[in-house]
Chain A
């Protein structure tokens, strides 16, 4: 079955700790994205990657970092510099960067205590 997986579904961390969220896709898509959703807000773009070993900041990249060492994987690290890390994080992919339709993973709910 092709798709995007994110793990874990729920994640709890203490304030001041870095945490890495996993995103894997087996759709053979070149482009991958990380979004954040807060209550009453739309999806806001954190980082995106056009191809392996390339990534660009989105609208709200501060306090986050990513890597794209493999086509299938695009992990997101939420660092201690992120002031409001508690949110629902969504990973997505598309065939290529300019391709409009994005497919989303199930999301990870991060709660920082």
Chain B
């Protein structure tokens, strides 16, 4: 059973507009969430994270929002740029469990249209 879900396999957004990528989770023990960006045939690179004690974290054009009651987080990219075209993975961890790494969603392929 998938504990981290990214229900949109792909998303197309016009350059300059806002991109919103969504992620849902089912495990209430998750307390730390990350977004990774991945280009084809490369390893993922860390983008931004948020702890469960916060509901928003901002870094330049990237903002992550966390709604704990809904078990939902979203990544906002504004304005979207051509170089943002990539697959974005949502990941979650249970820090207290201290165990086996991150649980990843299946990814959303973001396509920025010129």
Contact = CB atoms under 8 A, between A and B. Distances in A.
Interface residues of A, number: 30
A43 B45 contact: no
Contact of B44 (A41, A97, A104): A104
Given A41-B106, A58-B101, A102-B102, A107 B32 contact: no
A43 B89 contact: yes
A97 B32 contact: no
B34 A42 contact: no
B25 interface: no
A107 B41 contact: yes
Interface string B34-62: 10100001111110010000000000000
Interface string A71-113: 0000000000000000010101010011011111111010000
B45 A97 contact: no
Contacts of A2: none
Interface of B: 4, 6, 9, 32, 34, 36, 41-46, 49, 89, 93, 95, 98-102, 104-107
Q: Which 6 A-B pairs have the closest CB atoms?
A: A104-B43, A42-B104, A98-B98, A43-B104, A42-B106, A100-B32
